[in-house]
Amino acid sequence: MQERLILVREIEHLLPEISQRVREIQKTRAIPGDLVDKLKRAGAFRALIPRDFDGVGLDFESYATLIQRIATIDASVAWCINQASVIGLTSLWLPERSIRHIWGQPDTSVSNGPPLDSQIIAHGENYLLSGHWGFSSGCQHATWMAGLAKHESGGYRLAYFRPDDVEFVDNWEVAGLRGTGSFEFKVKNLAVPQDMVADMSRPASICIDLTLMPNTLLFAASFACVALGLARASLDDIVDLAQGKIPRWTSLKLKDDPDVQRFVGKATARWKAADAYLHRTIETLFPVIRQSNTVTHQQRAEMRMVGTHVIQECAEVVGVAYRISGSSGIYQDLDLQRRFQDMNVITQHVQGREAYFGILGRHELTGNYEIGPMT
């Protein structure tokens, strides 16, 4: 309990500094090294790792609230912390000695990315790994890389290896989430010890509620938390702007315009509904999972539904705020512009695809749930 309280308190203390350094984060496309060190000391990148392995052991309900809070200040920082925290759970499929090796250092942070082309083959006492991965958020401050690769016998294996063994490709010139520094990375014929390679089709070595729920669905809900934080901050931005702005050729301040009042009212209601839906789902599901020690198809469907729906709703809310801002919202140094760009990058992410609604609709109509990598 003490570690959890310390993490939440330290993050709150760091939020003003994060806010002051947003422009630096945007410009350098990375979280500054000294700020990363403070986040690491607070335990941000090991928030979900069990306390028995030097983690904070935060429950997913509290974690979701924390990520959302950080995202109200800067989505890139929230994204990097979330990426490292959720992918770090995959280490719990490794042997116990390997888990302790990874998390035994105070500066540990894990980065990964979806495989673009990868393979792993047995080679004596090791594996040989070759591959190319993309979108490795937070890789510039990672101490471990995790790469998913096709195994010679079929299926996939997840290998853990050091960033020093990696060739990074800096192609992160993007419209939003610039501060995540999500480079591509490559390795060729890298020898990886067998005890640093996990078969995630099997049960985790350390079984907790968060290893029962598929990792991709934890990302669905937690990236939705980033979207919620962004959307709430965008509403706050437009409320602040509306206090003084009088659009050209009008005599009313935005805050006194009946149309603006209606738009803001509807957007706020959408945000509150999305916020309640996500947190109610998490707070309902995870106590049941902890008690039953299993995850049902219905629970998987609920995680996918809430993640997809909340991201889509938040995009609408941010869009309303941006449109109300008029020409004031187009400047790159405006917080609302940054949030607009960040939100529209999130909707392009695999977790934000509207196509999932088709899978969820079939489940509702037929009772059949299509199990796949993202569901």
Is position 206 within any domain?
no
Boundary of a domain, candidates 167, 198, 229: 198
**Same domain membership, residue 299 and residue 243:** yes
Boundary of a domain, candidates 103, 130, 164: 103
**Same domain membership, residue 269 and residue 181:** no
**Same domain membership, residue 157 and residue 72:** no
Is position 375 within any domain?
no
**Same domain membership, residue 259 and residue 194:** no
The CA distance from 234 to 27, in Å, is 21
Is position 261 within any domain?
yes
Is position 79 within any domain?
yes
The candidate with the shortest Cα–Cα distance to 324, out of 264, 272, 281, is 264
Give me the pLDDT at residue 5, please: 81
Give me the pLDDT at residue 1, please: 63
**Same domain membership, residue 97 and residue 116:** no
Q: What is the pLDDT of residues 229-244, one digit of tens each?
A: 999 999 999 999 999 9
Q: What is the CATH number of the domain that holds 127?
A: 2.40.110.10
The count of structural domains within the chain is: 3
pTM for this prediction: 0.97
Q: What is the pLDDT of residues 48-62, one digit of tens each?
A: 999 999 999 999 999
**Same domain membership, residue 227 and residue 173:** no
| Residue 2: pLDDT over 80 | no
Is position 117 within any domain?
yes
Range of 85's domain? 2-103
| Residue 3: pLDDT over 90 | no
**Same domain membership, residue 182 and residue 136:** yes
Is position 31 within any domain?
yes
| Residue 257: pLDDT over 90 | yes
Is position 208 within any domain?
no
**Same domain membership, residue 358 and residue 253:** yes
The CA distance from 4 to 48, in Å, is 10
Span between the terminal Cα atoms of the chain, in Å:
32
**Same domain membership, residue 362 and residue 224:** yes
Q: What is the pLDDT of residues 202-227, one digit of tens each?
A: 999 999 999 999 999 999 999 999 99
**Same domain membership, residue 306 and residue 282:** yes
Q: What is the CATH number of the domain that holds 258?
A: 1.20.140.10
**Same domain membership, residue 358 and residue 229:** yes
Is position 277 within any domain?
yes
